[in-house]
Structure 1
Amino acid sequence: MSTIVKKRKRLLLMFSMLAVVFVLAACGTSDVTAQSEGFWDGVVIYNFAQLIIWVSGLFNNSYGMGIILVTVFIRALLIPITHFQQKNMQQMNEINPQMTELRERYSSRDTETQQKLREEQQRLYKDAGVNPYLGFLPLLIQMPVFIALYQSVNRTPILRTGDFLWVNLGAPDPYLILPILAGIFTLANSYLMSMGRPQAGGKVMTYIMPLFIVLITFRLSSALALYFAASNGFAALQTVLLQNPFKARRERELKEEQEREAERERRRAMKKAQKLGRNVRK
């Protein structure tokens, strides 16, 4: 029961953070120029837009290519943090059996028992060197990027009216191709990451997040859908190259099969011992 509650809390937190992103993204309507004042408009949004424009100039002013390359560059900068987060998640999965044992040991709902459970859980986290809240670290770091990208495109005239392939970057994709691609790449990355986990507890997030990405990007600018497609496409490639989830799944399945075989051998040995014991008594 506590596991279900925890998963629901994580889902609620994830969606709340994304909701905050897009509420904040809608803030600010005036164009951002070199004369814009304030840290957010005059420094963050303006320089973010200028970076996209500069990179686009390397590709014959293809602003879509500018968004893709800036996105990939940002994702590359986040590789150490993402790797640390994934390592933390793997360690969390490794201590799940101990966590389950603690919940069963302190299953009573009274205040004193629940306090003891929390203390034991914190001790287990500390001994294992993990932090249960680090899973949201990359998202928290990317939140300003989401907002900056959305506002830099929608508040910079040259980007707002820019075209890329079949879309206007400041308007929704009329054919929904980019939102669907963003959802597919998000699903691919989520599925690849779940392959490396020993438990299937993350299946809800694996399928809900891609759907959520599609639903929010088909109404917003194509630039944001392009960002999600490039970001999660790069993340999926990174997961394959750095984590090799296919190898991790094969090793986990082999280990589980070895454990099952050892359990079968133990049961056969017990049955044989019991049979021999009955024969002796006879």
Structure 2
Amino acid sequence: MDRNTLIGFGLIGALLIGMFVINSKSKQAYDKEQAAIAKRIADSLALIKPKVDSVALKLDAQKADSLKLAKQTSGLLQDTVKPQSVSIENDVVKITFSTKGAQPTLVELKKYKKFDSSLVQLQAGSFNKFSYAIKNGIGGTAQTENINFIATAVTKNADNSQTISFKTGDTSGTRSLVHQYTLKPGEYMLDLNIITTGNDWFDQNAMNINWQSEASQVEKDHKYELTQSHVCFVTNDNFDFEYAAKPDSKAFSKSVNWVAAKQQFFIAALIAKTKFESGSMEWKTPADSSTYLFRTTANLKVAVPAAANATTALQFYYGPSDYNILKKYDNQLQNIVPYGTGIFSFVKYINRYFLLPVFDFLQNNIASMGIVILLVTLLIRLITSPILYKSYLSGAKMKVLKPEVDALKAKFTDKTGQLDQQSFSMEQMKLWRTAGVSPLGGCLPALLQIPIFMSLYYFFQSNIDLRGKNFLWANDLASYDSILKLPFEVPFYGDHVSLFTLTAVATSLLISIYSMSNMQDNSNPLMKYMPYIFPVLLLGVFNKLPAALTWYYTVSNTITLILQIVIQKYVIDHDKILAQINENRKKPVKKSKIQEKVEAMQESQRKLQELKNKTNKN
């Protein structure tokens, strides 16, 4: 192709590109103009279109709901005035009812205060509800929450209990439905008798109850309170619980004694004296932690006697999670108090039958709760001191044998510095056996102290008597003590500084350092850092724990350190131990079956290792 042809193709290409550009701009302008026209048309239509009155729509929806409810309850006798509030109270609790639904709407606990110094309130808020469906007598059904019952005056009974009744029925007067509430002096338990006269109130002689309960924040630490909150129930006469912090649901195919929403220290429970036949329960936590802890919704079915005059007996418990109070009701409510759960559920018996009676005796005679914890700790350390002594004695025996153990280690170490671990272990076991020393002598006593440790861990987190009690700088022993509020949150640590946590960690660190200095073998480089790792971990774990617990650990660690020093320096006689070891060597050694099996296994491993070494050389 010559030069003129190339110029021609170039001009054609330029013309095509120019044409595409011009057409594209023209199309964009056209599309923009069409969009503007469409917008002007839409704006014009919007101006002539009648506006929707959202307020009117809302009012219409409310009116429709009112008409629907009015139709459902039209066959029932109701109070013509607006729903009213009526209260009954004793020396520990005040319960307010609404005539709308004849249900509790507010419970105030007179002896307990929230973190903001106001009284603890349960069942407060619009979510809380107790309702069930009834036949309205005109071919439909109605929920009791929508019925405005007629309230009677509060009456005082011969036993000083108080009773209030709420009544409805059909307009013909042939049927009646009564909610009769009774509150006894000094009790947190509220009795409810649902009394029906006339037949055909319920489908299939069964009452399907919907009970909703909202647990609001009571303690100062929302997150920690939620971790200590549970959803509890007794089904088929067996107690069980779920953690409320994890939203979930539970279906009950067998009979249910009661269900409960338990916060860290307070409980709202619904109980059936004749048991619920079946039901389900679900619980949820909010996205915004500032509103409430969790909400529970229970749907429960209870049988109603097929009689013209029938009474269904229920109970509500609104009160503290106090083991002594709950136990007297004899319906497993005391199991709600978590004195031991999971693999450590057995420690609840230590807490219930030993620690709690001792604690109650001391607090009834000593004003300061901090001193009570100190005395409880002294008693525990006194009881466990023989175990501690055996542990230290075993350690002392190991220390006496350390030169011989070092000699064995040197004997089975080759020129390259490689230790024949199998042979060394076998000879070390023989040395310990002939000397009458058990390698588990120091471990078993420590393991035996774990149940005591865990029982106190659960006890000080669950005992409501610690709540609100101050000691030294701690304002509330049931919560963490804070001497400094941080302007930010440190990962794994928190946003505050707990002084009792620091004292517990410091004393734990001193114990670790002292124990390491008395170890028979501290040549391992890793052991140099071990005394510091565990206390640092405790710093993050303990910082949010109740001050009662960290104060206990401080006292317990201090006593442990003093006992270690006294026992090892002034009680244990190392010369006497050496003489006893020499005497043991003169006695015939009896092997247990376990020792024989261990030695046989070690011998087998040694032979395999020798065979492997020969194979590698060949």
Question: Given the two structures, how large is their TM-score scaled by the length of structure 2?
Answer: 0.32
What's 2:323 paired with? Answer: 33
What's 2:533 paired with? Answer: 208
* 1:204–1:224 distance in 2 versus 1, CA, 3 Å: same
Q: Distance in 2 between matches of 1:145 and 1:161?
A: 25
Q: What displacement does 1:100 show?
A: 3.2
Contact 2:507 2:558 in 1 (8 A): yes
What's 1:134 paired with? Answer: 441
Q: What displacement does 1:64 show?
A: 2.1
- Which of the numbers 487, 512, 525 marks the counterpart of 1:190? 512
Q: What displacement does 1:75 show?
A: 0.9
2:545 matched to 1:220?
yes
**1:4-25, Cα deviation, whole Å (9 max, x unpaired):** xxxxxxxxxxxxxxxxxxxxx9
Q: Distance in 2 between matches of 1:198 and 1:132?
A: 12
Contact 1:32 1:46 in 2 (8 A): no
**1:84-138, Cα deviation, whole Å (9 max, x unpaired):** 2112112212323333333343347xxxx64433321211111222233333334
Q: Distance in 1 between matches of 2:518 and 2:500?
A: 28
What's 1:49 paired with? Answer: 356
* 1:160–1:140 distance in 2 versus 1, CA, 3 Å: farther
What's 1:63 paired with? Answer: 369
Partner SS for 1:163:
coil
* 1:56–1:205 distance in 2 versus 1, CA, 3 Å: farther
Q: Distance in 1 between matches of 2:503 and 2:534?
A: 13
The code of the aligned residue for 1:219 comes to K
Greater Rg over alpha carbons, structure? 2
Q: Superposition pairs for residues 82-231 of structure 1, below 5 Å?
A: 82-107=388-413, 114-167=421-474, 168-175=476-483, 176-196=498-518, 200-201=522-523, 203-231=528-556
Q: Distance in 1 between matches of 2:374 and 2:452?
A: 13
* 1:53–1:184 distance in 2 versus 1, CA, 3 Å: same
Q: Distance in 2 between matches of 1:51 and 1:207?
A: 35
Q: Distance in 2 between matches of 1:238 and 1:97?
A: 26
The code of the aligned residue for 2:458 comes to Q
Larger strand share, 1 or 2: 2
**1:209-229, Cα deviation, whole Å (9 max, x unpaired):** 433333321122222211210
Q: Superposition pairs for residues 7-22 of structure 1, below 5 Å?
A: none
**1:204-245, Cα deviation, whole Å (9 max, x unpaired):** 343334333333211222222112101111112223333338
Contact 1:150 1:221 in 2 (8 A): no
Q: Distance in 1 between matches of 2:559 and 2:371?
A: 14
What's 1:15 paired with? Answer: none
* 1:223–1:53 distance in 2 versus 1, CA, 3 Å: same
Partner SS for 2:560:
helix
The code of the aligned residue for 1:146 comes to F
* 1:139–1:88 distance in 2 versus 1, CA, 3 Å: closer
The code of the aligned residue for 1:186 comes to S
Q: Distance in 1 between matches of 2:439 and 2:540?
A: 28
Q: Distance in 1 between matches of 2:452 and 2:394?
A: 23
Q: What displacement does 1:40 show?
A: 4.1
Q: What displacement does 1:54 show?
A: 2.0
Contact 2:398 2:520 in 1 (8 A): no
State the superposition RMSD in angstroms: 3.4
* 1:26–1:244 distance in 2 versus 1, CA, 3 Å: farther
* 1:124–1:215 distance in 2 versus 1, CA, 3 Å: farther
Contact 1:153 1:160 in 2 (8 A): no
Partner SS for 2:323:
coil
Q: Distance in 1 between matches of 2:514 and 2:505?
A: 14
Q: What displacement does 1:193 show?
A: 4.0
The code of the aligned residue for 2:399 comes to N
Q: Aligned pair count?
A: 218
**1:6-53, Cα deviation, whole Å (9 max, x unpaired):** xxxxxxxxxxxxxxxxxxx99987645142359848633333233223
Q: Distance in 2 between matches of 1:160 and 1:143?
A: 26
Q: What displacement does 1:71 show?
A: 1.0
Say which structure, 1 or 2, has more relative contact order (CA 8 Å, 6+ apart): 1
Contact 2:347 2:455 in 1 (8 A): no
- Which of the numbers 202, 214, 238 marks the counterpart of 2:563? 238
* 1:133–1:157 distance in 2 versus 1, CA, 3 Å: same
Q: Distance in 2 between matches of 1:119 and 1:199?
A: 18
Q: Distance in 1 between matches of 2:348 and 2:440?
A: 33
Question: Given the two structures, how large is their TM-score scaled by the length of structure 1?
Answer: 0.64
Q: What displacement does 1:203 show?
A: 4.1
Contact 1:53 1:66 in 2 (8 A): no
Unaligned residue ranges in structure 2 (runs of 5+): 1-227, 231-240, 244-261, 263-320, 328-333, 415-419, 484-497, 574-618
Q: Distance in 2 between matches of 1:117 and 1:200?
A: 18
What's 1:19 paired with? Answer: none
